[in-house]
Amino acid sequence: MTDSEASLKQQITELGDKIRQLKVDKAAKDVIDQEVAVLKQLKAKLAVATGEPLPASGGKSKKATQFTLKTPKGTRDFNDKEMAVREAMFDTIKGVFRKHGGVTIDTPVFELKEILSGKYGEDSKLIYDLEDQGGEKCSLRYDLTVPFSRFLAMNSTLYQNIKRYHIGKVYRRDQPAMTKGRMREFYQCDFDIAGAHEPMVPDAEIVRIAVEVLTALDVGDFIIKINHRKVLDGMFAVCGVPEDKIRPISSAVDKMDKLPWEEVRKEMVDEKGLDPAAADRIGRYICLSGGEDLLNRLLQDEQLKANASAMAGLQDMQLFFRYAKVFKIADWVSFDLSLARGLDYYTGVIYEAVLVDSEENKNILAQEMPGQAKAPQDADESQVRLGSIAAGGRYDELVGMFAGSNRKGKSNNIPCVGVSVGVERVFSILMRKQKYEEIKANQTEVYVIAVGDGLLDERMAIAVELWENGIKAEYMFKAKPKLQPQFTACDRDLIPLSVIIGKDELAKGVVKIKDMQNKNADEAGGVEVPYTEMVAELKRRLGH
């Protein structure tokens, strides 16, 4: 099977899945019909390519011994160029984390099933379980926060406080949504500060870290929406939301970035049975956003002033704004009463970084995802939306859920605050911002080239000399390569310099050093250098 056949087959499988999902979701008929037409075209293309009739349903072969060569649904490979971009991204992020004293830990990819139970609400159905092959029941981790909390609870005598980051894969058995780039295996990239500290200082530093990371990654202009669970809870209370409806109403508010207010209001009143007057009161609050001015207005709000939870939250926000100014991040921060965040475990400040609706940002997102070896899932990713690129908040009770369950009476809780950078989203933005062919996957600095007689052993010996001097070097694995393919290899792999040898050079004890990025310069044939000075000259040019 050729690459394009494999790609076609995978596209067909994926599109089949999408259509089935559209039917389940009762999508409009013309939407489904359009997808079916694309599916038929893909099938016809594949039939031409392979010369064999296609099985009726996408992807499944009739022969029992055959199978489609693909990665599991919702997962993908990353090729060398994509990985170069990803590793540079991770290095940038780690650099910021370490600047703030961050250390890293590692936890297993799967946990005991019971560790994850009861942590994710109704999303628990998305947890991947391992087959029961005798022994413990295990599940793939759903995020990095619960394993971190489990680690803290197990090691609480040693880690009463820690600034830890963790970059690792997590798993969600979600319906992969191609248009949203939602995968079943994806990276999370978390920084958390655990410990009982001065109120709001770690919270503000976490937001500063988010600003530094997103600035260093150069993802485009962004703001950080910020809110507080206690402000939210107080606001709901003064608006007349009964205690038992606070979480469902909060979930509805969380949709304000995707749905218009009328729809959110409808969900509150029609689906969740909220008094329409209460909904309208909520509506007047959650349209508010701004800076310290908004905070001061709310501090004057007679109703909120009478609510202890709201006032506690607003006082935290006062502290937050004070530290945000010291940390020089106030310009990025927007106090936004519509920000609710879905996760139940947040107890204090919550925030979300979003790209601003600028022309520049929209232009980048409108571009196609580059890369020949891109996964078919990316086919629709050009529709990627403006949206969240980092998010987090304070969760003061999660460690206690583990630590508490094993101590009688004496709680061993550790309060935490953290941020998760949306690295998959950032990656898709970074890929759009550069030319695919200009991504250098390798780090090779010098290619050792022979003119004429091959000189394999001599090229290998020069490579050894370079490696031993810390220079990254390659040569062609061929006894008698022609000159042109060696130049082509330099071009393809974006290798800046070459060392060229021939019989004459060997006889004279010299090599030629050639700038491969600047082939038409005066030194087009390369500059002759004594062999004994080769390493020094290369290092000089490479800036070692």
Neighbouring-strand partners of residue 190: 166, 420
Q: Please indicate if the annotation marks 188 as binding a ligand.
A: yes
In the complex, least distance from residue 156 CB atom to a copy of itself, rounded to whole angstroms: 6
Shortest distance, position 177 Cβ to a copy of itself, whole Å: 15
Site for a copy of itself in 184-203 (CB under 8 A): 185, 193, 195, 197-198, 201-202
Separation of alpha carbons 85 and 489, rounded Å: 21
Ordered DSSP codes for 277-327: HHHHHHHHHHT-EESHHHHHHHHH-HHHHT-HHHHHHHHHHHHHHHHHHHT
Residues 33-42: b if buried by 16+ CB within 10 A, e if exposed: eebeebbeeb
User: Is the distance from CB of 498 to CB of 513 less than 8 angstroms?
Assistant: yes
Which residue in this structure is represented by tokens 């571009």? 367
Residue carrying structure tokens 């970059």? 167
CB 443 within 8 A of CB 542: no
Structure tokens at 445: 């600095």
Site for a copy of itself in 429-468 (CB under 8 A): 441-444, 456-457, 460-461, 464, 467
Question: Considering only residues 485-504, where is the footprint of a copy of itself by CB under 8 A?
Answer: 493
Of 84-92, 255-263, 292-300, 520-528, the segment contacting a copy of itself by CB under 8 A is: 84-92
Q: Both tokens of residue 72?
A: 């599991």
Stretch that binds a copy of itself, among 146-154, 222-230, 377-385, 528-536 (CB under 8 A): 146-154
Identity of the residue, 198 or 438, whose beta carbon is nearer to a copy of itself in the bound complex: 198
Using CB under 8 A as the binding rule, the residues of this chain from 462 to 481 that contact a copy of itself are 464, 467, 470-474, 477-479
Per the annotation, does 280 bind a ligand? Answer: no
Q: Which of residues 288-317 bind a copy of itself (CB under 8 A)?
A: none
Task: Say whether 164 counts as a known binding-site residue.
Answer: no
26/410 with CB nearer a copy of itself: 410
Site string (118-137) toward a copy of itself, x via CB under 8 A: ----------xxxxxx-xx-
Which one of residues 194, 239, 403, 449 is an interface residue with a copy of itself (CB under 8 A)?
403
Count interface residues toward a copy of itself (CB under 8 A): 106
Q: Is position 359 an interface residue for a copy of itself (rule: CB under 8 A)?
A: no
Q: Does 171 belong to an annotated binding site?
A: no
N-term to C-term CA, the chain = 45
DSSP 453: S
**Residue 212 touching a copy of itself (CB under 8 A):** yes
Scanning 103-111, 280-288, 388-396, 419-427 for contacts with a copy of itself by CB under 8 A, the matching segment is 103-111
Phi-psi region of 84 (alpha: psi -120 to 50; beta: other; left: phi over 0): alpha
| Residue 349 amino acid letter | V
